[in-house]
Amino acid sequence: MTDTLIQTLDVALGERSYDIVIGPGLLGSLSQHIETVSPTARIAIITDETVYELHGQAIEQALAGRQTHIIIRPAGEAQKSLANLEDILDSLFRAGFDRSDLLIAFGGGVIGDLAGFAASIYKRGMPFIQVPTTLLSQVDSSVGGKTAINNQFGKNLIGAFYQPQKVVTDTDLLKTLPARQLKAGYAEVLKYGLLGDPAFFDALEAGLGQDILDLDEAALTKAIHVSCATKAKIVAQDEREGGVRALLNLGHTFGHALELEAGYDGDLLHGEAVSVGMEMAFRFAVEQGLCPVADADRVSAHLAATDMPRISDMTHLLHDPAALLKHMGQDKKNESGHLTLILPRKIGETFIEKRADREAVLRFLTQLRDEA
Ligand code: NAD
Ligand code: MG
């Protein structure tokens, strides 16, 4: 392990504050990292089959000597259901866990959301630690304390704000992640630069972005640290999402419409939709005279250079502009009928437009379809 590469970030949320430790090889020293949280507690590990197959032995080895109980679920978004939540709770009860024990979420955002929510309600709340295994979960879902499951009415509609005691982010885990999942996570990394950190975008553009996609250890550690710090700063200002936290949705309302159009079992990952959605937000802002075209061009050029999903890859989802607009209106962040959009003034500066002009959005979507 290269200790010099390990970085620690304090998420400042008063008595709910916690550390995120980031770097290569951290899984091997997991026991040390949880020592400070819970030296004697029994540990329930919740993971999915894919992660278990690839890294199950490593986590079990890392926790040898501790009392552990492992719960392995199939992989996939469908796991975020009430029925599966109940199975997990039952398994914890059967194994006799109590409130002073510890739960570890070992997987991507699906496991983090599901296990985090289970931890929040098990006997009114038990401590939990995130060990995120996808780039998306390392830069996004493991920070901020949102936990949730889905139901027939939509995604993430049942859940709680519940902070982990610690996040242990081992960048080596990404070595087994399929390239497509890695890119989906990179969209969220890029988002942090675009929404408020122009110097970070400059660095990504100058090669850090490609280094991340090439799994360079130093690049990953740096980028995950910057991403988590940005998210943590925004969350600290707005833990329960009343204001600035909405900036984190840059690219997400356009992206959400594409996701709905593709269907949730369609072949479009969330991060892929966000990548395209950010390009759309910049293009729309240019159309509205809000953002210089040169900035939108730089965003598009970076997406092209890193082979990220772009508007031009989504022509099959653009054929019905009215349907897309309707999908955008279904975003749960919208207030009382108005369309809320996060729009750029330039790279690294965005704002919350709570009354976006629907007609203008429709014209824009129609133009994209006609150009396709
Ligand atoms: P995921 O958890 O489904 O992981 C993607 C796939 O990668 C799965 O098949 C998984 O088994 C596999 N995988 C995980 N780690 C791996 C590894 N190291 N090597 C190989 N394969 C691995 O998806 P995700 O993209 O990590 O997260 C998406 C979920 O996160 C969604 O449910 C979304 O709602 C949620 N989310 C939550 C928040 C939040 O703030 N709570 C934020 C963003 C996203
Ligand atoms: Mg997202």
For 96-124, how does the pLDDT look when each residue is reduced to its tens digit (9 = 90+)?
Answer: 999 999 999 999 999 999 999 999 999 99
Ligand 1 atom nearest to 55, measured from its CA: 18
> Contacts from 312-318 at CB under 8 Å and sequence distance 24+?
312/372, 313/276, 314/258, 314/276, 315/372, 317/258, 317/261, 317/262, 317/268, 318/365, 318/368, 318/369, 318/372
In the CATH hierarchy, which fold is given to the domain comprising 179-371? Dehydroquinate synthase-like, alpha domain (1.20.1090)
pLDDT higher than threshold 90 for residue 38: no
Q: Read off the pLDDT band of 53 (50, 70, 90).
A: very high
- SS3 state at 9: strand
| DSSP secondary structure letters along 97-166 | --TTSEEEEEESHHHHHHHHHHHHHGGG---EEEEE-SHHIIIIITSS-EEEEEETTEEEEEEEE---SE
Q: What span, in angstroms and rounded, lies between the C-alpha atoms of 22 and 88?
A: 28
Would you list which residues are annotated within the binding site? 109-113, 133-134, 146, 155, 188, 252, 270
Contact 310, 277 (CB under 8 A): no
Ligand 1 lining (C-beta closer than 6 Å) = 48, 50-51, 54, 75, 77, 80, 107-111, 113, 133-134, 136-137, 140-141, 144, 146, 155-156, 173, 176-177, 181, 270
Alpha-helical regions (H) of the chain: 30-35, 49-62, 82-94, 109-121, 135-136, 179-196, 198-203, 209-213, 217-237, 252-262, 270-287, 293-305, 321-329, 358-371
Contact 156, 128 (CB under 8 A): no
Domain range summary for the chain, segments of one domain joined by +: 3-176, 179-371
For domain 3-176, the CATH class is alpha beta
Distance 246 CA to ligand 2 centre (A): 11
pTM of structure: 0.95
For 152-202, how does the pLDDT look when each residue is reduced to its tens digit (9 = 90+)?
Answer: 988 899 999 999 999 999 999 999 999 999 999 999 999 999 999 999 999
pLDDT for res 240: 76
Q: Read off the pLDDT band of 41 (50, 70, 90).
A: confident
